[in-house]
Amino acid sequence: MADVVFSSVSKRYGGVEVIPGLDLTIADGSFTVLVGPSGCGKSTLLRMIAGLEEVTGGTIHIGGDDVTVRDPSQRGIAMVFQSYALYPHMSVADNIGFGLKLAGVPRAEIAARVAEAAETLQLTHLLDRKPRQLSGGQRQRVAIGRAIVRKPKVFLFDEPLSNLDAALRAQMRVELAELHSRIGATMVYVTHDQVEAMTMADRIVVLNGGRIEQAGAPMDLYRHPATPFVAGFIGSPRMNFITGAEAAALGADLVGIRPEHLRPGVDGRWSGTVRHVEHLGAETLIYADVEAIGPVTAKVEGDLALAPGQAVRFGYDPANLHLFAAGRRLPAG
């Protein structure tokens, strides 16, 4: 049993309040992603779970134990950072087992645990290599291996894929999600990248200025964002927002519609002019200026033959509109 429970946790650096007082339960065995823009307090929260940062107020429990003032080594956690921090002169096997060696674990048990972790991470054939003989993705797997051998109750990841190129990031997303299904431990993963959050999490916690904007399953946040912030943060390309008279006509202060829900056609509500088109092969992105609402982005499947300067109309299914008033989602009418 290793849920992580924050109760009224606050954090100040000097006079600056970074986390105003946060309640959050991270379920046992979940893959929870804390996501938000740079500076919103993600690393601070993770480091408070790890015990690398003191809390200013409140308590943190892991698996029912109050760990608020406990030493990091006594919390049953292992952390993986963006910088892998491998020892360059040590082999992969020695890097993975180093923490166990420091902890005085017998040699035979270290060898067994390293072999098991290497198997899980497909590193078995690389155990004798030095870090410089590995690709970026393999190095990150070694860093994860170092965490796995400690058999932590909770894994903590702080933007572990940020140093990798796009293709490797996509591959490591899949590997991490599969690792989680295999070992079933609680994983808390911090990122500013909503794609990582959407693809890996079973629960996403969206943070903004040290506060929780919304927490829920990825597709719940996509379908029913509670606030304009979440609506704009989750989904790519970003949701289009409409204000003013056109929003009022639709019954809200602010109306959101995702690019994939704008339908170019001859009979849509909104008329405008194409400004730019991106042909991605499987889909086409249309950037247009719409008279009633301003610049919009639309995404359609397939290759659409549209050119800048061309007139275009956009329609939508009313079920795909997101209506907000006073900063909150309006109940579906």
72 or 294, CB closer to Mg ion?
Answer: 72
Q: How many residues are present in the chain?
A: 333
38 or 181, CB closer to ligand ADP?
Answer: 38
CB of 39 to ligand ADP, least distance (A): 4
124 or 162, CB closer to ligand ADP?
Answer: 162
Binding partner at 49 among ligand ADP, Mg ion, none, C-beta below 5 to 8 Å by kind: none
| 191: contact with Mg ion by CB under 5 A | no
CB closest to Mg ion, residue no: 43
* Residues in contact with 254: Cβ distance below 8 Å, sequence separation at least 6, in sequence order: 228, 241, 242, 243, 247, 323, 324, 325
Looking at the DSSP bridge assignments, the partners of residue 215 are 205
CB of 144 to Mg ion, least distance (A): 18
Neighbours of 322 (CB within 10 A): 22
Question: Which residues lie near ligand ADP (CB under 6 A)?
Answer: 13, 18, 36, 38-44
Binding partner at 13 among ligand ADP, Mg ion, none, C-beta below 5 to 8 Å by kind: ligand ADP
CB of 160 to ligand ADP, least distance (A): 13
The three-point CA angle 55-60-64 to 5° equals 160
39 or 327, CB closer to ligand ADP?
Answer: 39
Looking at the DSSP bridge assignments, the partners of residue 61 are 5, 66
DSSP secondary structure string for all residues of 168-224 = HHHHHHHHHHHHHHHH--EEEEEES-HHHHHHH-SEEEEEETTEEEEEE-HHHHHHS
- The Cα–Cα gap between 204 and 24 comes to 12
| 44: contact with Mg ion by CB under 5 A | no
Binding partner at 44 among ligand ADP, Mg ion, none, C-beta below 5 to 8 Å by kind: ligand ADP
Binding to Mg ion, residues 160-189 (CB under 5 A): none
DSSP assignment, residue 28?
T
CB of 52 to ligand ADP, least distance (A): 11
206 or 262, CB closer to ligand ADP?
Answer: 206
CB of 43 to Mg ion, least distance (A): 3
42 or 329, CB closer to ligand ADP?
Answer: 42
Binding partner at 146 among ligand ADP, Mg ion, none, C-beta below 5 to 8 Å by kind: none
3-state secondary structure of 113: helix
CB of 158 to ligand ADP, least distance (A): 7
| 43: contact with Mg ion by CB under 5 A | yes
Specify whether the CB–CB gap between 175 and 17 falls below 8 A: no
Cα diameter, the chain: 74
Residue 280 has phi, psi (to 5 degrees) of -100, 5
84 or 324, CB closer to Mg ion?
Answer: 84
Structure token digits, residue 143: 């860093």
CB of 157 to Mg ion, least distance (A): 11
Q: Catalog residues that contact Mg ion under the rule CB under 5 A.
A: 43
